[in-house]
Structure 1
Amino acid sequence: MENIEIIVLLLFGVTFLAVLSNRTRFPFPIALVLVGLVISLIPNLPVVILKPEVVFFVFLPPLLYEAAWKASWHEFKTNIRSITLAAVGLVIFTTLCVGWAAHTFIPGITWAEAFLLGAIVSPPDAVAATSVTKGLGIHPRLISILEGESLVNDASGLIVYKYALAAILTGSFELWEAGFQFLEVVVVGVGVGMAVGYVLYLIHKNFICEPLVEVTLTFLTPYASYLIAEHFHASGVLSVVTTGLYLSFRSADMFTTESRIQANSVWEVVIFILNGLIFILLGLQMKMVIPDLESVGSVGIPTLLGYGLLVSLVVIAVRFIWVFPAALIPRWLSSKIRTREEYDRRNLIIFGWSGMRGVVSMAIALSIPLTLPSGETFPNRNLIIFLTFCVIIVTLVAQGLTLPAVIRKLKLPKHSILAEEYEVRTKVLGAAMVHIEEKLLDLDEATKDTVRTNYQNRFERLQHTELPLRNPQEKDTNPALAVFNRLSHVQLELIEVERELIKQLHKQGQASEEVLRKIEWELDIEETRLQLEIIK
Structure 2
Amino acid sequence: MDNFPFYLILILIILLLIMLANRIKVAYPVLLVLAGLCISFIPGIPVLHIESELIFVLFLPPLLYEAAWQISWKEMWKWRRIIGSFAFVVVFFSALSVAFVANYFIPGFSLALGLLLGGIVSPPDAVSAGAILRFVKVPRRIKSILEGESLLNDASSLIIFRFAFIAVATGQFVWHEAALSFVWMVAGGVGIGVALGYFFMKMHKLLPTDANIDIVLTILAPYLMYIAAEEVHSSGVLAVVSGGLLLSNNRLRFLSSSSRLRGYNVWESLVFVLNGLIFMFIGLDLPQITSGLGNVSLSDAVGYGLLITAVLIIGRILAAYGAVVTTLIARNFITVADSSNPGIKGPFLIGWSGMRGVVSLAAALSIPEMVNGEPFPQRNLILFITFVVILATLLLQGLTLPYLIRRLHVKDPDHTMPEEELYNKLRNMMSQHALEHLRSNYERELDAYPVLQQIAQKLDTSSLVVKESSMNEGSKAVYRELLNHQRKWLHEKNAEKQSLDEEIVRRLLVYLDLEEEKLHYF
Fold agreement, TM-score > 0.5:
yes
State the Cα distance separating 1:119 from its structure 2 match: 0.8
- Tell me the residue number matched to 1:386: 384
* CA shift digits 1:120-154 (9 cap, x unpaired): 11111233223323353322111111111111111
Does 2:434 correspond to 1:436?
no
Q: Is the 8 A contact 2:432 2:460 kept in 1?
A: no
After superposition, the Cα gap between the structure-2 partners of 1:76 and 1:50, relative to the gap in structure 1 and judged at 3 Å, is same
State the Cα distance separating 1:176 from its structure 2 match: 3.8
Partner amino acid for 1:10?
L
Q: Is the 8 A contact 1:52 1:370 kept in 2?
A: no
State the Cα distance separating 1:110 from its structure 2 match: 3.1
CA separation in 2, counterparts of 1:298 and 1:307? 11
Q: Is the 8 A contact 2:135 2:402 kept in 1?
A: no
Q: Is the 8 A contact 1:193 1:238 kept in 2?
A: yes
> What secondary structure sits across from 2:138 in the alignment?
coil
- Tell me the residue number matched to 1:359: 358
Q: Is the 8 A contact 2:79 2:337 kept in 1?
A: no
User: Could you tell which deviates more after superposition, 327-336 or 140-149?
Assistant: 327-336
CA separation in 1, counterparts of 2:243 and 2:458? 40
Matches within 5 A, 1:320-331: 320-331=317-328
Partner amino acid for 1:394?
A
State the Cα distance separating 1:81 from its structure 2 match: 0.7
Does 2:370 correspond to 1:368?
no
Q: Is the 8 A contact 1:59 1:363 kept in 2?
A: no
CA separation in 2, counterparts of 1:221 and 1:339? 33
State the Cα distance separating 1:255 from its structure 2 match: 1.0
CA separation in 2, counterparts of 1:381 and 1:5? 32
Matches within 5 A, 1:1-20: 1-20=1-20
Q: Is the 8 A contact 1:225 1:236 kept in 2?
A: yes
> What secondary structure sits across from 1:356 in the alignment?
coil
After superposition, the Cα gap between the structure-2 partners of 1:331 and 1:260, relative to the gap in structure 1 and judged at 3 Å, is same
In structure 2, stretches of 5+ residues that fail to align are 467-509, 516-522
CA separation in 2, counterparts of 1:218 and 1:445? 39
Partner amino acid for 2:436?
V
After superposition, the Cα gap between the structure-2 partners of 1:338 and 1:66, relative to the gap in structure 1 and judged at 3 Å, is closer
State the Cα distance separating 1:242 from its structure 2 match: 0.5
Does 2:188 correspond to 1:188?
yes
- Tell me the residue number matched to 1:233: 233
- Tell me the residue number matched to 1:77: 77
After superposition, the Cα gap between the structure-2 partners of 1:342 and 1:383, relative to the gap in structure 1 and judged at 3 Å, is same
> What secondary structure sits across from 1:431 in the alignment?
helix
TM-score (norm 1): 0.81
State the Cα distance separating 1:339 from its structure 2 match: 8.0
Q: Is the 8 A contact 1:290 1:386 kept in 2?
A: yes
CA separation in 2, counterparts of 1:337 and 1:347? 21
State the Cα distance separating 1:334 from its structure 2 match: 3.1
State the Cα distance separating 1:37 from its structure 2 match: 2.4
- Tell me the residue number matched to 1:453: 457
- Tell me the residue number matched to 2:147: 147
- Tell me the residue number matched to 1:426: 428
Matches within 5 A, 1:266-415: 266-293=266-293, 296-300=294-298, 302-335=299-332, 336-337=334-335, 340-345=338-343, 346-374=345-373, 376-414=374-412, 415=415
After superposition, the Cα gap between the structure-2 partners of 1:420 and 1:106, relative to the gap in structure 1 and judged at 3 Å, is farther
Partner amino acid for 2:453?
D
After superposition, the Cα gap between the structure-2 partners of 1:93 and 1:400, relative to the gap in structure 1 and judged at 3 Å, is same
State the Cα distance separating 1:298 from its structure 2 match: 4.6
State the Cα distance separating 1:189 from its structure 2 match: 1.3
> What secondary structure sits across from 1:183 in the alignment?
helix
CA separation in 1, counterparts of 2:4 and 2:268? 22
State the Cα distance separating 1:263 from its structure 2 match: 1.6
State the Cα distance separating 1:164 from its structure 2 match: 1.5
After superposition, the Cα gap between the structure-2 partners of 1:453 and 1:391, relative to the gap in structure 1 and judged at 3 Å, is same
Q: Is the 8 A contact 2:29 2:279 kept in 1?
A: no
Partner amino acid for 1:264?
Y
Does 2:41 correspond to 1:44?
no
Percent identity (aligned): 39
- Tell me the residue number matched to 2:251: 251
CA separation in 2, counterparts of 1:45 and 1:447? 63
- Tell me the residue number matched to 2:476: none
- Tell me the residue number matched to 1:109: 109
State the Cα distance separating 1:427 from its structure 2 match: 2.5
CA separation in 2, counterparts of 1:419 and 1:340? 24
* CA shift digits 1:170-204 (9 cap, x unpaired): 33222343233212211121111111111111111
CA separation in 1, counterparts of 2:27 and 2:282? 19
CA separation in 1, counterparts of 2:108 and 2:42? 30
CA separation in 1, counterparts of 2:47 and 2:337? 57
- Tell me the residue number matched to 1:94: 94
Partner amino acid for 2:408?
L
Matches within 5 A, 1:424-503: 424-442=426-444, 443=446, 444=448, 446-458=450-462
CA separation in 2, counterparts of 1:276 and 1:382? 25
CA separation in 1, counterparts of 2:116 and 2:3? 30
CA separation in 2, counterparts of 1:218 and 1:155? 22
Q: Is the 8 A contact 2:86 2:153 kept in 1?
A: yes
- Tell me the residue number matched to 2:33: 33
In structure 1, stretches of 5+ residues that fail to align are 462-486, 489-524, 531-536
CA separation in 2, counterparts of 1:220 and 1:337? 40
Q: Is the 8 A contact 1:209 1:256 kept in 2?
A: no
Q: Is the 8 A contact 1:129 1:354 kept in 2?
A: yes
* CA shift digits 1:401-456 (9 cap, x unpaired): 21222223323225543343233322222223223322331223733432233333
Q: Is the 8 A contact 1:83 1:149 kept in 2?
A: yes
Partner amino acid for 1:434?
E
CA separation in 2, counterparts of 1:106 and 1:339? 42
Matches within 5 A, 1:207-226: 207-226=207-226
Q: Is the 8 A contact 1:208 1:214 kept in 2?
A: no
CA separation in 1, counterparts of 2:29 and 2:284? 18
After superposition, the Cα gap between the structure-2 partners of 1:35 and 1:431, relative to the gap in structure 1 and judged at 3 Å, is farther
Partner amino acid for 1:418?
E
**RMSD of aligned alpha carbons:** 2.5
